[in-house]
Amino acid sequence: MSQINLAVVYYSATGAGTEIAGEMSRAATEAGAEVRVRKVAELAPPAAIEANPAWAAHHAATADVPAPGFDDLEWADAVIFGSPTRFGNIASQLKQFFDTLSPLWVQGKLAGKVYSGFTSAATRHGGHESTLLAMYNTIHHFGGIIVPPGYTDPVKFVDGNPYGTSHHVSNGSEAASVDTDTRNAARHQAERVVTIAGALKRGHAAA
């Protein structure tokens, strides 16, 4: 009963989010979880994607990453959501997925799970914290248990964001800019989510 099913559900345009999701997936797997990585569907028109070479390249490179379905969220004991910041809020691609979840929500199938989040932005103060807080508004409606990283490990005093892993994409487009500090923060967050979800699952089993 202690093995944790973790879904990492994210959106990424140019690749930073994909790198963070991969780092979290590896860390959670090493911590003993079974992990599904899912990238929400792209909503932008082809012309907009093709106008940005980095976006077009990443869109093609991740074409085989499955989109999330209801079964992924029902299966999961814990979910980590990820989104770049869009004017201090989550991307419309992730929001659209949230907006499809009413059938699960009304049945109470999203409640009682562990949730956490990550983000990235092209500027240092361009909405890292507000994006995560906006994301967590939805989790409150789910009846979910939000597990932020807080300042629970020395790596968080380097990363500096207690709400979740956040990354400054220094050149605005390259996944390669995901540095060691961000990767360390991502690994710690994933491990913390698995640990707390495991404790909750064992507690429920004992009860």
Query: pLDDT averaged over the chain?
Result: 94
Q: Does 1 have pLDDT greater than 70?
A: no
Q: How many CB atoms lie within 10 A of CB 189?
A: 31
pLDDT digits (tens, 9 = 90+) for 88-108: 999 999 999 999 999 999 999
Structure tokens at 181: 């500090």
pLDDT digits (tens, 9 = 90+) for 10-59: 999 999 999 999 999 999 999 999 999 999 999 999 999 999 999 999 99
Please give the pLDDT value at position 171: 63
Average pLDDT of span 130-157: 97
Q: What is the dihedral of CA 151, 157, 161, 162, to 10 degrees?
A: 0
Q: Measured in whole angstroms, how far is the alpha carbon of residue 27 from the centre of its chain?
A: 14
Q: Does 182 have pLDDT greater than 70?
A: yes
- Rounded to two decimals, the pTM is 0.96
Structure tokens at 89: 């809020």
Please give the pLDDT value at position 175: 56
Please give the pLDDT value at position 189: 98
Taking the C-alpha atoms of residue 82 and residue 123, their distance in angstroms, rounded to an integer, is 17
What is the topology classification, in CATH, of domain 5-206? Answer: Rossmann fold (3.40.50)
Angle between helices 180-206 and 16-30 (to 10 degrees): 50
* Amino acid occupying residue 184: N
Nearest to 118 by CA among 42, 16, 5, 3: 16
Please give the pLDDT value at position 123: 87
Nearest to 104 by CA among 141, 63, 50: 141
* Gyration radius of the chain's alpha carbons: 16
